[in-house]
Amino acid sequence: MTITISGTGISRGIAIGRAQRLDDGELEIYEAAIPKELIEDEVARFRRAVHTARQQLKAIRNSIPEATSADITDFIDTHLLMMEDSMLTAAPIERIRHEHCCAEWALKSQRDELAQVFDEMDDPYLRTRKDDIDHVVTRIQRILIGEKAAGAADEKHTLEGTIVLAHDLNPAEAALLQHQGIAGFVTESGGPLSHTAILARSLGMPAIVGTHITPQHIRDGDTVILDGSRGLLLADIDEDTLKDYHRQQRQQKKHQVELKRLKNEPAVTADNIPVNLFANVELLEDIRAARQSGADGIGLFRTEFLFMNRNDIPDEEEQLKHYLALIRSMRGLPVIIRTLDLGADKECGASEKRNCPNPALGLRAIRLCLNNIELFRPQLRAILRASAKGPVQMMIPMLSSSSELDRVIELIEEVKQQLQDDGLAFDRNLPVGGMIEVPAAALSASLFARKLDFLSIGTNDLIQYALAIDRTDDSVTYLYDPLHPGVLKLVRMVIDACQQHLTPVAMCGEMAGDPRYTRLLLGMGLRQFSVPPTSLFEVKDAIRRCDTRLLSVHIDKILASDDPQQIHAAVDDLNTLH
């Protein structure tokens, strides 16, 4: 009888192969006192471990073919840079010297302190960047205690064609395993927004996280099926199931080849309705991927990355430089720049630490900016000045009330007057939009649609807040459901309000980038999507195959249902319409 193990599918596709478990369980680190006369020896041992970790990462990077996407090598470069950061190299040495503890414990203590900082961040995406610290720390810890890292170059067993099972994988390990020819991977921990998940999607490698696999379920050498689309791992497979999955796999490979032909094709439905298909980017390096995928523009540029991993705050000129580079790279295509969406506390080096018991509901995004005008004003000036050089739009995150919006508009007008007084150019008609991420904002969508030039539905936070779950917590991610009837009603309210006020509306969350929901969203009236560059071809294909004239009856039934199972089944049926 086929065994089915469920997890969170983070990268679609089917992989079939023999299972190979990597011994990468969580490390147990214990405190040990170091005699005063041996302290410098312990410091030297820590430095050797850091040096060895760097050499390992450089070896992994050098083993990846030059033709490999920059997205992949960037992950490894990021970890190499982190190993140069004093927070992970000098600070543990200070702990060894002052606390007379072993190197492993000093590094663990430093990791725990840094992890707390990330845990207090509000943005789920940024919060998952704690994974990068864990990956770097774990690599050093394994060297200190004499263990090998997963996917080490001297791995004796052959990994080609295998489906790797592991407790967790960092991006460097996943990149190396892909280079060694694995068919896919399954981990016990991890979330859909981790760098490893992003990497898996970039590589097109099927993957599942959060499965909580135990050894008795799967043995090394067992033939298993990894269904990344459904988040399933199958073992003890009967012949008919195996034959069916081989058929599906052949169809998917053929489909992927066909999708790349869509780059220069317009995003138009089968009944000739044009759709705007934009890309979400966070780094200037992502722009290349957006252009290669034929994006109509940038629908979401996350500016918080200019403020991260540094001890100071970028000034107006530095921010302007980045925005101008973005505009030049997009060569006349529209660019929507989102203002700072960081949480409370200390992401910006100059901020003072605050006690925030629930940061997701605390001083974040526009609340933070309005609470710290000196942080916000330079960004407003930089975005407005950039608007003189190209088709820029400004987007405000996490709006929740009219008074909040009124204050933002007042500030923008003040900054415009200052720029005019300073003799600096800007677009006087710069479109200003807002993100609908809070249920209260969705319920008040008519207000925001009336006062703003455009809206964008941020489904990641909207779903999180509507369902009261932390989607980075793998113990509750099973509750994260974009098709929850309450979520669909909120999305429909926003779209209807925008149609009533003739205000453009887009969606820029993960839901927009999942082609399983494209027909549903088109049927609900959405005509602008902003998606990760890696999802753009699949969403465009779904748009071009959709005849919106056939959707209305099905959409009404879906939105009238209160049964999540019925909704999921109805959406599956919707995707089979021709």
Tell me the CATH number at 240: 3.50.30.10
Domain co-membership, 379 together with 311:
yes
Spatial separation of the C-alpha atoms in residues 414 and 405, rounded to whole Å: 14
- Residue corresponding to tokens 């405190």: 31
Domain co-membership, 237 together with 346:
no
**CATH code of the domain covering residue 58:** 1.10.274.10
Total domains present in the chain? 3
Q: What is the DSSP letter of 353?
A: P
Give residue 219's pLDDT: 85
Give residue 346's pLDDT: 39
Phi-psi region of 413 (alpha: psi -120 to 50; beta: other; left: phi over 0): alpha
Q: Supply angle C-alpha 350, 354, 358, rounded to 5.
A: 130
SS (H, E, C) 66-97: CCCCHHHHHHHHHHHHHCCCHHHHHHHHHHHH
Q: Which of 256, 281, 302 is at the close of a domain?
A: 256
Exposure of 332 by Cβ count < 10 A (0-12 exposed, 13-18 middle, 19+ buried)?
exposed
Question: Does 17 reside within a domain?
Answer: no
Q: How many helices (H) and strands (E) does the chain have?
A: 22, 16
Spatial separation of the C-alpha atoms in residues 152 and 170, rounded to whole Å: 12
Question: Does 45 reside within a domain?
Answer: yes
- 21 annotated binding-site participant: no
Spatial separation of the C-alpha atoms in residues 304 and 126, rounded to whole Å: 9
Domain co-membership, 325 together with 401:
yes
Domain co-membership, 214 together with 269:
no
Give residue 350's pLDDT: 45
Domain co-membership, 451 together with 397:
yes
Domain co-membership, 214 together with 268:
no
Domain co-membership, 318 together with 375:
yes
Report the candidate in 370, 371, 384, 395 with the shortest Cα–Cα distance to residue 418: 384
> Residue 2 has which token pair?
């086929």
- 77 annotated binding-site participant: no
Question: Does 486 reside within a domain?
Answer: yes
Could you give the C-alpha distances from 398 to 120, 482, 537, in angstroms and in order?
17, 19, 29
Q: What is the DSSP letter of 547?
A: -
Could you give the C-alpha distances from 260 to 14, 139, 183, 227, 293, in angstroms and in order?
19, 37, 21, 22, 8
From first to last of its 578 residues, the chain has per-residue pLDDT tens of 778 888 888 888 899 999 988 865 567 788 888 998 999 999 999 999 999 988 888 877 776 655 555 556 667 777 788 888 888 889 999 999 999 999 999 999 988 888 877 776 655 555 656 777 887 888 898 888 876 555 554 444 578 899 999 888 876 678 778 877 899 999 988 777 666 777 787 677 899 988 876 656 788 899 999 999 888 999 989 999 999 999 999 998 888 788 888 988 999 999 999 999 999 987 666 788 888 888 999 999 989 878 865 668 899 999 999 999 999 999 999 999 999 987 644 355 444 455 566 767 788 889 999 999 999 999 999 999 999 999 999 999 999 999 999 999 999 999 999 999 999 999 999 999 999 999 999 999 999 999 999 999 999 889 989 999 876 666 776 788 899 999 999 999 999 999 999 999 999 988 999 999 999 999 999 999 999 887 899 999 999 999 999 998 899 999 999 999 999 999 999 998 87
- 31 annotated binding-site participant: no
Question: Does 19 reside within a domain?
Answer: no
Domain co-membership, 221 together with 285:
no
Domain of residue 528 covers: 262-576
Domain co-membership, 223 together with 331:
no
Report the candidate in 152, 132, 127, 123 with the shortest Cα–Cα distance to residue 24: 152
- 154 annotated binding-site participant: no
CA dihedral 359, 360, 366, 372 (to 10 degrees): 0
- 311 annotated binding-site participant: no
Q: Which ranges of 359-484 does DSSP label H, i.e. alpha helix? A: 365-371, 373-386, 402-422, 439-443, 445-451, 459-467
Give residue 288's pLDDT: 81
Spatial separation of the C-alpha atoms in residues 278 and 281, rounded to whole Å: 10
Give residue 351's pLDDT: 47
Could you give the C-alpha distances from 330 to 149, 219, 299, 382, 531, in angstroms and in order?
40, 50, 12, 18, 16
Could you give the C-alpha distances from 140 to 40, 144, 561, in angstroms and in order?
18, 6, 52
β-bridge mates for residue 454, sequence order:
433
Q: Which residues are catalytic?
A: 195, 508
Domain co-membership, 357 together with 451:
yes
Give residue 153's pLDDT: 47
Q: Which of 150, 174, 198 is at the close of a domain?
A: 150
Question: Does 3 reside within a domain?
Answer: no
- 272 annotated binding-site participant: no
Domain co-membership, 244 together with 289:
no
Question: Does 198 reside within a domain?
Answer: yes
Strand pairing report for 232-235 and 432-436 = unpaired
Exposure letters 102-133 (e unless 16+ CB within 10 A, then b): bbbbbbbbbbeebeeebebbbbbbbbbbbbbb
Give residue 76's pLDDT: 75
Question: Does 18 reside within a domain?
Answer: no
Give residue 124's pLDDT: 58
Spatial separation of the C-alpha atoms in residues 558 and 554, rounded to whole Å: 6
Contacts of residue 250, Cβ cutoff 8 Å, sequence gap at least 6: none
Question: Does 422 reside within a domain?
Answer: yes
Spatial separation of the C-alpha atoms in residues 406 and 395, rounded to whole Å: 14
Strand order in the sheet with 163-166: 3-6, 232-235, 223-227, 14-21, 163-166, 184-187, 207-209, 8-11
Q: Supply angle C-alpha 548, 554, 557, rounded to 5.
A: 145
C-alpha neighbours within 13 Å on the C-beta side of residue 414: 11
Q: Which of 256, 284, 302 is at the close of a domain?
A: 256
Domain co-membership, 167 together with 130:
no
